[in-house]
């Protein structure tokens, strides 16, 4: 290639920023091959530092950024030198190109950044990136995992400023049967949400969904970090509550409102199904009164139309046995109303009265409501704490949803370490650090 042509090619491919100059190019099948050489070659021996004597040249092949959508390979012609220092253990060495790529790497540094940016910013699948670069899935995934590992472990201030934590379980592997190995404990920083400075941030994922898994993670953190934690939001799992009480005695545990209402909705559904079976002798059918209100009874009263309210009242009054469903539904609505009360103090008082009323001594026929009362009364401190601190596990559930999407576009994971690192890319707020590379 002529010098002007090489100059134009250097400009288009931006090889100048790599410290190499293009000397030729070719197309082979679907790959663009670019021949280049280092602009400056350091002849210094990496061991003794003395300049070596030129011996010959070798070619190092590296994957670079796609050029106008076509995968590219750089053929870098490197000079090799002979060290004439008799006291040096190095005999033959080649010129270093640390600016272009790391030692023994198969891709350029900027290609590694490009892979992370596509994963973190554009939410591309590994398979799509591998196709764009004409590399194997395992190669691209290994490059991304190693880069994220360096970003995470190389940031000593990653846990600085964390005051509010959210913890929840997540099923990372779907297969026949279930085991503890299929679940992880997701730990999320809720501080940006509370301070209104940004979205929640995934801090880590730990194998298992037990008190020990969460307690061990907390024990491995710095004592200053644990002393800063003020609130831990969680679902109804008692294991996370005991781990918090053990490792973070000064922090307040908060049971998420969604899980409280969800538990009440589950008991209401079971009550309706039991009464349906007792009165009709079969599971719900289209013409059965209780089956027709299966969705309406779970909807807030304020959101019902007049027609729906009429249908609900008619179904509940169709049989004296339906009184159990009516009472359970009233308590369900009362729990929702307490959370929705704009006056936190009044909402807390209403919640406490409701929990106290259903904790014991309920009439026969309200078995599901009695179970709900016993369960919620045991966790009343965490339930009522929400009205004081206002911290929920909603952002954690949102991150769980994003991880479900990640697992879907990746067509499944078999290695938890890879899954954790890929999850940190998507939900660990690493985009700014990746763009700054």
Q: Which of 389, 404, 424 is the last residue of a domain?
A: 389
- Other Cβ atoms less than 10 A from the Cβ of 336: the count is 18
DSSP string, 238-306: HHHHHHHHHH-TTSEEEE-HHHHHHHHHHHHHHHHHHHHHHHHSSS--TT-HHHHTTTGGGS-GGG--H
The CA–CA distances, whole Å, from 280 to 211, 274, 288 equal 43, 10, 8
- Other Cβ atoms less than 10 A from the Cβ of 94: the count is 17
Q: Quick check: is 93 in a domain?
A: yes
Count H helices and E strands in the chain, helices first.
18, 10
Tokens 């679907």 — which residue? 30
Q: Quick check: is 370 in a domain?
A: yes
Q: Quick check: is 115 in a domain?
A: no
So what's the pLDDT on residue 174? 73
Q: Quick check: is 269 in a domain?
A: yes
Q: Quick check: is 140 in a domain?
A: no
Q: Quick check: is 114 in a domain?
A: no
Q: Quick check: is 22 in a domain?
A: yes
Q: Quick check: is 128 in a domain?
A: no
So what's the pLDDT on residue 323? 93
Question: How many domains, the chain?
Answer: 2
Low-confidence ranges of the chain (pLDDT < 70): 1-12, 153-154, 175-180, 409-412, 431-433, 435-437
Which of 59, 58, 74, 69 is CA-nearest to residue 17?
74
Q: Which of 71, 86, 106 is the last residue of a domain?
A: 106
389 bridge partner residues: none
pTM: 0.73
So what's the pLDDT on residue 255? 93
So what's the pLDDT on residue 326? 93
* Enclosing H/E stretch for 71: strand 70-82
Which of 366, 367, 334, 370 is CA-nearest to residue 352?
334
So what's the pLDDT on residue 2? 59
133-169 residue pLDDT tens: 999 988 888 888 888 877 776 677 788 889 999 999 8
Instruction: Tell me which residue range forms the domain holding 95.
Output: 3-106
The CA–CA distances, whole Å, from 34 to 69, 108, 234, 357 equal 15, 13, 54, 78
So what's the pLDDT on residue 410? 61
Q: Which of 51, 78, 106 is the last residue of a domain?
A: 106
**Distance between CA atoms of 253 and 165, rounded to whole angstroms?**
10
**Distance between CA atoms of 322 and 85, rounded to whole angstroms?**
97
**Are 314 and 292 in contact, with CB atoms under 8 Å apart?**
no
So what's the pLDDT on residue 217? 92
Q: What distance separates the 2 farthest-apart alpha carbons in the chain?
A: 103
Q: Exposed/middle/buried for 29, CB within 10 Å: 0-12, 13-18, 19+?
A: exposed
């Amino acid at each position: 290639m002529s010098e002007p042509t090489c100059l134009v090619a250097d400009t288009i491919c931006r090889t100048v920023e790599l410290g190499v100059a293009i000397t030729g190019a070719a197309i082979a099948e679907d790959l663009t091959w670019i021949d280049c050489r280092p602009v400056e070659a350091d002849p210094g021996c990496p061991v003794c530092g003395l300049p070596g004597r030129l011996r010959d040249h070798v070619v190092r092949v590296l994957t670079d950024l796609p050029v106008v959508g076509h995968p590219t390979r750089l053929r870098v012609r490197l000079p090799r030198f002979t060290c004439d220092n008799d006291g040096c253990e190095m005999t033959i060495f080649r010129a270093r190109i640390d600016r272009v790529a790391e030692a023994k790497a198969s891709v350029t540094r900027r290609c590694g950044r490009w892979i992370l940016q596509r994963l973190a910013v554009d939410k591309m699948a590994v398979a799509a990136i591998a196709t764009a670069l004409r590399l194997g899935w395992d190669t691209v995934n290994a490059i991304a995992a190693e880069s994220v590992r360096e970003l995470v472990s190389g940031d000593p201030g990653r846990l600085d400023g964390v005051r509010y934590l959210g913890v929840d379980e997540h099923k990372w592997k779907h297969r026949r049967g279930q085991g503890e190995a299929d679940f992880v404990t997701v730990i999320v920083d809720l501080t940006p949400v509370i301070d209104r400075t940004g979205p929640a941030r995934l801090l880590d994922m730990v194998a298992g969904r037990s008190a020990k898994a969460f307690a061990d993670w907390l024990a491995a953190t710095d004592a200053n970090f644990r002393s800063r934690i003020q609130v831990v939001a969680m679902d109804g799992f008692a294991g996370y509550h005991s781990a918090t009480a053990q490792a973070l005695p000064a922090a307040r545990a908060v049971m998420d409102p969604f899980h409280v209402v969800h538990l009440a909705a589950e008991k209401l559904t079971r009550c309706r199904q039991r009464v349906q079976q007792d009165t009709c002798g079969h599971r719900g059918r289209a013409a059965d009164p209780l089956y027709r209100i299966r969705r309406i009874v779970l909807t807030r009263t304020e959101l019902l139309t007049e027609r729906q309210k009429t249908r609900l009242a008619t179904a509940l009054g169709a049989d004296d046995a339906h009184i159990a469903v009516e009472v359970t539904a009233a308590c369900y609505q009362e729990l929702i109303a307490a959370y929705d009360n704009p006056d936190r103090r009044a909402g807390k008082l209403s919640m406490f009265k409701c929990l106290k009323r259903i904790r014991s001594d309920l009439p026969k026929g309200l078995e599901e409501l009695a179970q709900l009362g016993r369960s919620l009364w045991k966790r009343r401190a965490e339930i009522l704490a929400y009205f004081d601190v206002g911290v929920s596990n909603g952002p954690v559930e949102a991150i769980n949803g994003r991880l479900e999407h990640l697992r879907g576009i990746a067509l499944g994971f078999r290695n938890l370490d890879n899954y954790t690192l890929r999850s940190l890319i998507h939900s660990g707020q690493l985009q700014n650090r990746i763009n700054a590379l």
